[in-house]
Amino acid sequence: MKPIYVTKTPNLYRIQFEYHPKLVEVIKMIPSKPRYDGTDRAWLVSINDTRYPIGRDANWYVRAFAQWAVQMRYCSTVKEREVTEDINYDIPPMKPFVGEHYMLLQPYEYQLEGVQYAIEHKRCFFGDQPGLGKTLQAICAVVKAHKEAPIYGESFPVLVICPAALKVNWQREFKKFAGMNSIILDDRNRQSWQSFYECKRSDGSPLCEVFITNYESLNKFFVKAVNKESKLTMKSIAFDQRVSLFRSVIIDESHKCKSSKTQQSKYVEGICKGKRYIFALTGTPVVNNNTDLIQQLKILGRLEDFGGYSRYVERYCDGPKQASNVKELNWRLWNTCFFRREKSKVLTQLPDKTRQYLTVDITTTKEYKAAEADMVKYLKKYKNASDEQVQKSMNGAVMVQMQLLKQISARGKIKAVCEFVHDVIDGGEKLILFGYLKEVVAELKKEFPKAVTVTGSDSVNQKQYAVDSFQNNPDCKLIILNFKSGGTGLTLTAASRVAFIEFPWTFSDCEQAEDRAHRNGQKNNVNCYYFLGKDTIDKYMYDVIQTKKNIANGVTGTDDQVEENMVNLAMDLFRDKL
């Protein structure tokens, strides 16, 4: 049971509480007809409204509602706040680009505006929607900063930190856009990589100024020791002195560093400390709530711009979803260290996507029904549990059982999906197919031996070969990807059809996967197909990821919501059987 939050502004009250249908029913009875603001997840009660009866105003109704909510034990207590003035949180327009871009290809106007923002702010997020070319913008910004050193200061050598599957892609993009060679750090150059920068050509320039590594290898290349007897802090980590060589750092998929408790995020923080240019690339900087930004802001050296840790938490992580004052946070981010553009607003030549789901019979019905019966039996036994520890334990157990239902459904859809794939590729078209389970991928590969794959079992070179074959070989019609290994970063515009035999819980992950085809270079409408097992968890799951909206919408403009409580999800799904 959580508090009810009441914030008073000059013109209205903003009321936030954990969802309960009875609370919604009662708040709608206030005469001014409150409206719901999905951005702040708050109900807005107008102060100056003629519909209030004589003797009773907005304050009376708000207090009565809050006190009733606590009395009826829907909320634990009332927390009141007051804002003395309304502030205009309109996002400022992007500044026009100035000067030379130094790229071999002509960037779009909006990309150059992003470069201008990065050059001016130096340590910032590139938050554009997937497919808009964050990689190009980061390369252009770091090169421009280097070329115009007398104005902006040096930015080379640069370290790129990215997911393992994208190292080769970054290497090729630097060559494609800037004509620059780069080195991927590996065991062969572990002890000597710095020599490629220290050794000079005849013109005095270094042999290489771009170095690329993945998150999992940071410890190997840049950390000398970690004091395991103390708490994980910057002081407990001894970094390799070669870290000081880098003048700038590009962090791809920076949301991987959202937790301050992981060694990985601490390593990135230590490597970036004191750097003049730090570019964090992510289409989803906020995955769960506003606390996800804290460590990323620390890495950028920007947390103090928001008042420091305590002030940030107090101001922006309050409320039932740890997401307060999101409009203000969005505005401050844009003005300090963040920009984001949507495809529909800046890339009109990129066609829209169309989504559809295909309900198919599964071949594992008997197995699925048995697992479903076990789930219902479990929920019946614990559905009235109130103890917090019991609920937490339930959440984990229910998550495992929900995953089992997904897996059984996925295996049961293979036959139907294979028929669909045959229709597509036999018709001469290419197809991107997403799965997750190893056995599902193996069965699909068995049915389509000429298909290429990008999964966790494939090496970086194998993954790059698969992408190149799919993009350039007209005879390669099918690529099968695990959405964890191939859902981000890759460009697969050779296809305009994307299919999912399995899909993740979050809309942003689904959108990232869809955008392997729906990005720069795609000239056709992209059709996305979601295969749903008949009478399974799939349809409910699809509805959840397509219709719910996360607090991230308020901060970055991203639609993405999944219920955090798996027990609530399961109770809702099986409510007719409990």
Q: Check whether 562 has a pLDDT greater than 50.
A: no
Per-residue pLDDT band for 351 (boundaries 50, 70, 90) equals low
Per-residue pLDDT band for 522 (boundaries 50, 70, 90) equals low
For the whole model, what pTM was predicted? 0.61
Per-residue pLDDT band for 38 (boundaries 50, 70, 90) equals confident
Q: How far apart are CA 263 and CA 232, in angstroms?
A: 7
Q: How far apart are CA 19 and CA 7, in angstroms?
A: 17
Pairing of the two strands 223-226 and 237-239: antiparallel
Stretch 480-486: mean pLDDT, rounded?
A: 77
Beta strands in 404-455 (DSSP E): 431-435, 452-454
In what side-by-side order are the strands of the sheet with 497-500? Answer: 353-360, 526-533, 497-500, 431-435, 478-482, 452-454
Q: Check whether 577 has a pLDDT greater than 90.
A: no
Per-residue pLDDT band for 339 (boundaries 50, 70, 90) equals very high
Q: Check whether 405 has a pLDDT greater than 70.
A: yes
Q: How far apart are CA 527 and CA 499, in angstroms?
A: 8
Q: How far apart are CA 453 and CA 47, in angstroms?
A: 59
- pLDDT (0 to 100) of residue 477: 93
- pLDDT (0 to 100) of residue 32: 92
Stretch 102-112: mean pLDDT, rounded?
A: 94
The CATH architecture to which 109-284 belongs is 3-Layer(aba) Sandwich (3.40)
- pLDDT (0 to 100) of residue 131: 66
Domain ranges of the chain: 4-82, 109-284, 353-577
Q: Check whether 123 has a pLDDT greater than 90.
A: yes
**For the segment 422-441, what is each residue's pLDDT rounded down to a tens digit?**
877 876 789 999 988 889 99
Per-residue pLDDT band for 551 (boundaries 50, 70, 90) equals very low
% residues pLDDT > 90 (the chain): 42
DSSP string, 469-536: HHHH-TT--EEEEEHHHHSSS---TT-SEEEESS--S-HHHHHHHHTTTSSTT--SPEEEEEEEETTS
**For the segment 133-162, what is each residue's pLDDT rounded down to a tens digit?**
899 999 999 999 999 876 655 789 999 999
Q: How far apart are CA 415 and CA 511, in angstroms?
A: 25
Q: How far apart are CA 130 and CA 139, in angstroms?
A: 16
Residues 6 or more apart whose CB falls under 8 angstroms from that of 568 comprise none
Q: How far apart are CA 21 and CA 51, in angstroms?
A: 24
48 closest CA partner among 15, 19, 11: 11
Q: Check whether 178 has a pLDDT greater than 90.
A: yes
- pLDDT (0 to 100) of residue 559: 45
Token pair recorded at residue 354: 């169309």
Q: Check whether 225 has a pLDDT greater than 50.
A: yes
Region of poorest pLDDT, from 47-56, 509-518, 533-542: 509-518
Same fold for the pair 4-82 and 109-284 = no
Stretch 78-87: mean pLDDT, rounded?
A: 73
Stretch 202-231: mean pLDDT, rounded?
A: 89
Q: Check whether 61 has a pLDDT greater than 90.
A: yes
Q: Check whether 492 has a pLDDT greater than 60.
A: yes
Q: Check whether 472 has a pLDDT greater than 50.
A: yes
DSSP string, 165-210: GGHHHHHHHHHHHH----EE--GGGTTTTTHHHHSB-TTS-BS--E
Are 570 and 537 a contacting pair, CB within 8 Å?
no
Classify the C-alpha dihedral 231-234-239-243 as positive or negative.
positive
CB atoms within 10 A of CB 363: 15
- pLDDT (0 to 100) of residue 398: 77
Per-residue pLDDT band for 280 (boundaries 50, 70, 90) equals very high
Which helix (H) or strand (E) element contains residue 395? helix 388-412
- pLDDT (0 to 100) of residue 160: 97
Q: How far apart are CA 305 and CA 88, in angstroms?
A: 19
The fold for domain 4-82 equals Alpha-Beta Plaits (3.30.70)
Label residue 557 exposed, middle or buried (CB < 10 Å: 0-12, 13-18, 19+): middle
Q: Check whether 298 has a pLDDT greater than 90.
A: yes
**For the segment 383-397, what is each residue's pLDDT rounded down to a tens digit?**
666 666 556 666 677
Stretch 521-535: mean pLDDT, rounded?
A: 78
Stretch 368-378: mean pLDDT, rounded?
A: 88
Q: Check whether 549 has a pLDDT greater than 60.
A: no
Q: How far apart are CA 56 and CA 50, in angstroms?
A: 11
Between 487 and 397, whose confidence is greater? 397
Token pair recorded at residue 55: 């003797």
Per-residue pLDDT band for 326 (boundaries 50, 70, 90) equals confident
Phi, psi of 482 (to 5 degrees): -85, 130
Query: Does domain 353-577 sit in CATH 3.40.50.300?
Result: yes
Pairing of the two strands 42-46 and 35-37: antiparallel
Per-residue pLDDT band for 478 (boundaries 50, 70, 90) equals very high
Q: Measured in Å, how far apart are the chain's first and last C-alpha atoms? A: 23
